[in-house]
């Protein structure tokens, strides 16, 4: 499973890149706003900065909601850097835009997926990735991981190239469960990726090894 970082924070992206396990980055307008990135020029520069840190795909989301606006923005975003994947919401115009952008060789990430039917339509339109939101489903007492299972089952029945990019990942067990289900990618906060390392038996075992070594070696 590929690991993407779900942030627009350059320091966190650098830290994950240095860890050596980073395969890409996803952003969205809320994550860009959280970093205080304002205006088209600043956003574009920030996307390029991210591409220059990470070796892998970087999702940049369109703001337009109409077909013409989405394809115009999508084409401009794709021109910024070869690593850019254009993120498009799963609406009627979004699906049409994904079909168009795909026909132009531009890679897309269909976002705000909350049902297997939405994922199926996005795959048929040629999306490179579909982004089902696990955490936001859990937040309303639905089962986010069940959605990942359903999409995996649907995609495995056919030969779509579309990858399942599990999004809205909130904690380590989301990551582990996504890997068990066979999601192609999980986009995660850095804390959840680092959380995978934590185990009290690792800590106590290492302390014991070092203490035993010190007894003999000083
Ligand atoms: C990523 O592509 C999504 O926009 C993101 O994972 C949403 O996460 P959230 O539900 O924690 O905002």
pLDDT digits (tens, 9 = 90+) for 187-214: 999 999 999 999 999 999 999 999 999 9
Compute the average pLDDT of residues 126-135.
98
CA angle in degrees (0–180, nearest 5) for 193-171-148? 100
Q: How far is the CA of 205 from the centre of ligand 1 (A)?
A: 36
Task: Please choose, from the candidates 114, 115, 74, the residue with its C-alpha nearest in 3D space to the C-alpha of residue 93.
Answer: 74
Q: What is the CATH number of domain 2-217?
A: 3.20.20.70
| Spatial contact of 97 and 76, defined as CB atoms under 8 Å apart | no
DSSP secondary structure of 4-27 = EEE---HHHHHHHHHHT---EEE-
What would the pLDDT profile of 154-189 be if each residue is shown by its tens digit?
Answer: 999 999 999 999 999 999 999 999 999 999 999 999
CA of 60 to the centre of ligand 1 (A): 13
User: Could you tell me the two tokens for 137?
Assistant: 């489903």
In short, whether 120's Cβ falls inside 6 Å of ligand 1 is no
pLDDT at 218 (0 to 100): 85
**Distances in whole angstroms, Cα of residue 141 to Cα of each of 21, 104, 165, 170, 199:** 32, 39, 21, 15, 28
Ligand 1 atom with the smallest distance to the CA of 167 is: 6
Task: Indicate which residue's Cα is closest to atom 8 of ligand 1.
Answer: 168
The protein residue with its alpha carbon nearest to ligand 1, atom 4, reads 28
**Is a pLDDT exceeding 90 seen at residue 74?**
yes
Task: State the distance from the centre of ligand 1 to the C-alpha of 131, rounded, in angstroms.
Answer: 9
Task: Assign 49 a pLDDT band (cuts: 50, 70, 90).
Answer: very high
**Residue spans per domain, the chain:** 2-217
Residues 182, 183, 187, 192, CA torsion sign: negative
Number of neighbours of residue 162 by Cβ within 10 angstroms = 23
Q: Do 57 and 4 meet the contact criterion of CB atoms below 8 Å apart?
A: yes
Contacts 24+ apart (CB under 8 A), 104-112: 104/75, 106/74, 106/75, 106/78, 107/57, 107/78, 108/74, 109/26, 109/59, 109/85, 109/165, 111/28, 111/59, 111/61, 111/87, 111/167
Q: Judge if the beta carbon of residue 109 lies within 6 A of ligand 1.
A: no
Instruction: Please list the residues that pair with 113 across neighbouring strands.
Output: 132
Ligand 1 in reach of 46 Cβ (< 6 A): no
For residue 198, report the distance from its CA to the centre of ligand 1, in Å: 23
> For the chain, what is the mean pLDDT?
98
| Alpha helices, H only, 35-91 | 40-53, 67-80
Known catalytic residue: 72?
Answer: no
- Pick the catalytic residue from 38, 87, 180, 194: 87
Answer yes or no: is the C-beta of 187 below 6 A from any ligand 1 atom: yes
Ligand 1 in contact with 7 (CB < 6 A)?
no
């Amino acid at each position: 499973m590929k690991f993407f970082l779900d942030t627009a924070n350059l320091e966190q992206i650098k830290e994950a890149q240095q860890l050596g396990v980073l395969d890409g980055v996803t952003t969205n307008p809320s994550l860009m706003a959280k970093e205080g990135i304002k205006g088209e020029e600043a956003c574009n520069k920030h996307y390029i900065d991210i591409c220059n840190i990470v070796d892998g795909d970087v999702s940049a989301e369109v703001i337009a909601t109409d077909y013409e606006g989405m394809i115009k923005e999508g084409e401009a975003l794709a021109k910024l850097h070869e690593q850019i994947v254009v993120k498009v919401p799963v609406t009627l115009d979004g699906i049409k835009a994904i079909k168009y952008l795909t026909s132009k060789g531009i890679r897309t990430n269909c976002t705000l997926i909350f049902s297997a039917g939405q994922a199926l339509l996005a795959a048929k339109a040629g999306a490179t990735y579909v982004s089902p939101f696990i955490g936001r489903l859990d937040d309303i007492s639905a089962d986010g991981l069940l959605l990942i299972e359903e999409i995996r089952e649907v995609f495995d029945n056919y030969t779509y190239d579309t990858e399942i990019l599990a999004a809205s990942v909130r904690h380590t067990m989301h990551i582990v469960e996504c890997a068990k289900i066979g999601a192609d990618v999980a986009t995660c906060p850095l804390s959840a990726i680092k959380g995978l390392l934590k185990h009290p038996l690792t800590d106590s075992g290492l302390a014991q090894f070092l203490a035993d070594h010190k007894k003999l070696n000083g």
